[in-house]
């Protein structure tokens, strides 16, 4: 049965066409993947369905009946539920309050809010999703991003007192989840499908889509190019449908040998989360960081960049010990830092692309040390934007107007601006489409050929195995192993992360 049918959907933002006659048909009881490059129009289509963006033209039908979705309440009443690409949580409220946000809280004698009742109800919703490790009374701000995502999912899925859900729409739900959390989510999705709900699923992780989806629809430049059954389809075809050409498969090869000189040396690094971490990276080398979520990879990068305040131990750049207490001084010392959570700390959404790219490099752009050279700033942004294939109307476009993947490219452009000697990259390709991902990998090869050193933390095991020269495996805040990637397979690496090797 056709649950949702969209035809001829158009939407322009200030003359730029985000949707150009897009069509999509979703059946009850199927997972339908919505695919396309960064900026193809996926999130815009979803925002139209959610009543957040008003389309210029188009027809939306639910079970064959044309519907008007003018507000988020309309969408909710039609039985639509959303997990948007940008996580919007209320950090100072509890988990339970976030789950029941905008709904009637349980009350005692119809008067006082029944906090125990609220927490119990929240715990019930969470455990219905197989999530038992999150306390409902905990402040949202204290949760990992992965756990915040699970709470958002619980909030969207907990149905008490609302129209029964018929269609779940998830825009890159796994982008911030660990492998384990993703598996949990997939189990939930499969259960919803078995109960007859439709699911629209957006992800740039092709393996995940091939595993989970029944059918997929590909958008290119705002138009639908194809809808296919996933069974019998191979990844290469999907990539071709998305980017309109075939892609050099896999990963770009190394271009130059690794130098002898050590670019970054870290000795006995300890913080509340890290215990005596030591490693070194040579010029031209890519050192991978692997581990389960929260094992210390991110924490080590953040500690070196001075993102979380003080630490014990020594950090040396090109043989000289340096003191770094905040990211600004890291940049000044030739150390670039790409944080994992671009929305929360990576970007100033209301500022322009150029402004964001130059943010930590303002000193270089000051003319006579006084006025900011706006032209140089814009030129730099255009040049770097080209390198990462940024899709934008120009360097002055506001970051908030960019698609999610293009925002990620702005953070990456900033990391390579200002000619850093060492790059600390935490999940640099998360949310980035397959084509752009290949471009970022190619760029990393070029940078290392120029003698830059790269630390690459990633939850994507193939990316680590193919791009890194050596991998530091973290477990419980300690270095559990350091392995060369020559001859290393993914299964061995996964076992090392779990501590079962
Ligand atoms: N509020 C806005 N103002 C101006 N342009 C916008 C706005 N929202 C989206 N766009 C533009 O519409 C196009 C489609 O964006 P959309 O977010 O739908 O892409 P997407 O397919 O979700 O990409 P990604 O995979 O990167 O998330 C992009 O070029 C984007 O810059
Ligand atoms: Mg998007």
Domain parsing of the chain, residue ranges:
2-243, 250-334+420-501, 348-419
**In a mutational test of the pocket of ligand 1, which residue from 20, 38, 39, 388 has the highest number of ligand atoms less than 8 Å from its CB?**
39
Q: Which architecture does CATH list for 250-334+420-501?
A: 3-Layer(aba) Sandwich (3.40)
Residue nearest to atom 24 of ligand 1 (CA): 38
Q: How many residues are listed for the chain in this entry? A: 501
Confidence band (pLDDT; 50, 70, 90) for 174?
confident
So what's the pLDDT on residue 112?
Answer: 65
Q: Which of 482, 351, 475, 338 is nearest to 414 (CA)?
A: 338
Q: How far is the CA of 151 from the centre of ligand 1 (A)?
A: 26
So what's the pLDDT on residue 371?
Answer: 61
Q: Quick check: 47 and 34 in contact, CB under 8 A?
A: no
Distance CA 391, CA 386 (A): 9
Distance CA 497, CA 428 (A): 20
Confidence band (pLDDT; 50, 70, 90) for 344?
low
Residue nearest to atom 1 of ligand 1 (CA): 401
Residue nearest to atom 31 of ligand 1 (CA): 402
Token duo for residue 105 = 């809280």
For residue 84, which ligand has an atom nearest its CA?
Answer: 2
Mean pLDDT for the chain? 87
Atom of ligand 1 nearest to the CA of 85: 27
Q: pLDDT tens-digit profile of 37-92? A: 999 999 999 999 999 999 999 999 999 999 999 998 899 899 999 887 776 778 88
Give the contacts of 312 (CB within 8 A, at least 6 positions apart): 268, 269, 270, 271
Confidence band (pLDDT; 50, 70, 90) for 473?
very high
CB 404 less than 6 A from any atom of ligand 1: yes
So what's the pLDDT on residue 455?
Answer: 98
Q: pLDDT tens-digit profile of 227-263? A: 999 999 998 899 999 988 777 668 998 898 899 999 9
Give the percent of the chain with pLDDT over 70: 92
Q: pLDDT tens-digit profile of 363-389? A: 565 555 556 677 777 887 888 888 888
**Above 60 in pLDDT, residue 341?**
yes
Q: In terms of C-beta density within 10 A (0-12 exposed, 13-18 middle, 19 or more buried), how is residue 122 classed?
A: buried
The answer to whether 2-243 and 250-334+420-501 have equal CATH topology is yes
Q: How far is the CA of 406 from the centre of ligand 1 (A)?
A: 8
Q: How far is the CA of 408 from the centre of ligand 2 (A)?
A: 11
CATH code for the part of the protein at 2-243: 3.40.50.300
Distance CA 84, CA 336 (A): 29
Confidence band (pLDDT; 50, 70, 90) for 285?
very high
Of 80-94, 404-418, 471-485, least confident by mean pLDDT is 80-94
CA 392 to chain centre: 19
Distance CA 482, CA 77 (A): 53
Of 19-28, 54-63, 340-349, least confident by mean pLDDT is 340-349
CB 41 less than 6 A from any atom of ligand 1: yes
**Above 80 in pLDDT, residue 145?**
no
Cα 90-359-17 angle, rounded to 5 deg: 70
For residue 221, which ligand has an atom nearest its CA?
Answer: 1
Residue nearest to atom 2 of ligand 1 (CA): 401
So what's the pLDDT on residue 501?
Answer: 61
Q: How far is the CA of 401 from the centre of ligand 1 (A)?
A: 7
Residue nearest to atom 29 of ligand 1 (CA): 39
CB 394 less than 6 A from any atom of ligand 1: no
Q: What is the mean pLDDT of residues 312-339?
A: 88
**In a mutational test of the pocket of ligand 1, which residue from 34, 36, 43 has the highest number of ligand atoms less than 8 Å from its CB?**
43
CB 390 less than 6 A from any atom of ligand 1: no
CB 397 less than 6 A from any atom of ligand 1: no
Helix, strand, coil percentages for the chain (3-state, nearest 5): 35, 25, 40
Half-sphere exposure of 240 (CA within 13 A, CB side): 6
So what's the pLDDT on residue 180?
Answer: 75
CB 39 less than 6 A from any atom of ligand 1: yes
């Amino acid at each position: 049965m056709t649950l949702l049918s969209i035809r001829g959907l158009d939407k322009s933002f200030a003359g730029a066409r985000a949707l150009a006659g897009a069509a999509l048909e979703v059946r009850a009881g199927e997972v339908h993947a919505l695919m396309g490059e960064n900026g193809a129009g996926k999130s815009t289509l979803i925002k139209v369905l959610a009543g957040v963006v008003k389309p210029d033209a188009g027809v939306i039908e639910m079970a064959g009946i044309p519907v008007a979705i003018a507000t988020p309440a309309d969408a909710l009443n039609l039985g639509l539920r959303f997990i948007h690409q940008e996580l919007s949580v209320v950090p100072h409220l509890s988990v339970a309050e976030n789950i029941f946000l905008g709904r009637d809280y349980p009350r005692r004698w119809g008067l006082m809010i029944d906090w125990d009742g609220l927490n119990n109800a929240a715990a019930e919703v969470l455990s219905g999703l197989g999530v038992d490790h999150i306390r409902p009374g905990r402040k949202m701000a204290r949760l990992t991003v992965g756990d915040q995502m699970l709470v958002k999912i619980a909030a969207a899925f907990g149905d008490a007192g609302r129209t029964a859900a018929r269609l779940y729409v998830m825009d890159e739900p796994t982008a911030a989840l660990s492998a384990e959390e993703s598996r949990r989510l997939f189990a939930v999705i499969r259960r919803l499908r078995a109960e007859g709900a439709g699911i629209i699923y957006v992800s740039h992780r092709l393996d995940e889509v091939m595993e989970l989806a029944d059918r997929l629809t590909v958008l290119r430049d705002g138009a639908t190019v194809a809808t296919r059954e996933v069974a019998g389809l191979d990844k290469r075809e999907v990539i071709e449908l998305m980017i309109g050409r075939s892609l050099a498969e896999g990963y770009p090869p190394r271009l130059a040998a690794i130098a002898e000189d050590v670019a970054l040396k870290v000795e006995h690094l300890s913080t509340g989360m890290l215990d005596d971490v030591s490693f070194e990276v040579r010029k031209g080398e890519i050192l991978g960081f692997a581990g389960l979520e929260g094992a210390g990879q991110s924490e080590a990068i953040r500690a070196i960049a001075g993102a979380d305040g003080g630490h014990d131990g020594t950090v040396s750049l090109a043989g000289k010990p340096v003191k770094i207490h905040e990211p600004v001084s890291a940049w000044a010392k030739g150390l670039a830092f790409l944080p994992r959570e671009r929305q929360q700390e990576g970007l100033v959404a209301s500022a322009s692309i150029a402004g964001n790219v130059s943010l930590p490099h303002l000193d270089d752009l000051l003319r006579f040390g006084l006025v900011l050279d706006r032209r140089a700033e814009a030129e730099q942004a255009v040049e770097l934007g080209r390198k990462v294939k940024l899709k934008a109307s120009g360097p002055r476009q506001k970051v908030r107007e960019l698609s999610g993947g293009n925002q990620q490219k702005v953070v990456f452009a900033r990391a390579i601006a200002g000619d850093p000697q060492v790059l600390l990259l935490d999940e640099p390709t998360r949310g980035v489409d397959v084509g752009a991902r290949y471009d970022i990998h190619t760029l990393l090869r070029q940078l290392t050929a120029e003698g830059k050193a790269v630390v690459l933390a990633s939850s994507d095991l193939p990316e680590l195995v193919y791009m890194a020269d050596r991998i530091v495996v973290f477990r419980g805040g300690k270095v559990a192993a350091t392995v060369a990637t020559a001859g290393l397979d993914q299964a061995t690496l996964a076992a090392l992360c779990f501590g079962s090797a």
